[in-house]
Amino acid sequence: MLGIFVLLLLPVVVVQVADAACANSCSGHGRCGASNQCTCDADWALAPDCSLRKCPTGVAWTDKAKTANAAHAVAECSNRGVCDYSKGECTCFNGYTGAACQRLRCPSDCSGHGLCYSSATLASQYGPSSLAGSGPTYTNWEKDSMTSCMCDMGYNGPDCSQCKLPMMETW
């Protein structure tokens, strides 16, 4: 009877030894492989023990072109922020926003007198031939990254901070 009990415990001991061979048991965020290396879960990586979170990625603001038509590869925090690996979050540089720092922040957040839109939205909603939101489709790499203010009636300027006075008719 004791022999059967020992045989039943043997696989459990082997599994624990295999897990222990990987660094920090993969921090509970991965699986230990046959070569004693962790295969990290989707949101975890960047360390041999899967202890650091990945940060969001976006189209890089600056990049070296690979070919004539291939530039702006995907980069962590879009190369416009610093990753906090403990949280998996980007801290964007001044002037950039978004989970992956992938968008320019509108100047002064449009001063409370307008809305911030991407180039793609401005082209389709307010560009030439934009009746009922059917304007041209803007497809360049920065279509969702570059932003501008659409000022409320009575305001203008790049940040909608200038008050437009109504035009007076002259006699």
Condensed to tens digits (0 to 9), the pLDDT of residues 58-101 reads 988 887 777 766 778 899 999 999 999 999 999 999 999 999 99
Please give the C-alpha separations between residue 132 and each of 1, 81, 128, 138, in angstroms, as whole numbers: 81, 37, 11, 16
pLDDT grade for 14, boundaries at 50, 70 and 90: very low
Q: Give the model's pLDDT for residue 132.
A: 58
Q: Give the integer Cα–Cα distance in Å for 144 and 121.
A: 8
Q: Give the model's pLDDT for residue 85.
A: 93
Query: What is the average per-residue pLDDT within 9-28?
Result: 64
Condensed to tens digits (0 to 9), the pLDDT of residues 117-164 reads 998 888 887 766 656 556 778 888 888 889 999 999 999 999 999 988
The answer to whether 79 touches 60, Cβ cutoff 8 Å, is: yes
Flag whether the pTM goes above 0.75.
Answer: no
Domain positions in the chain? 24-51, 55-105, 106-161
Q: Give the model's pLDDT for residue 12.
A: 47
Backbone angles phi, psi at 17, to 5 degrees: -65, -40
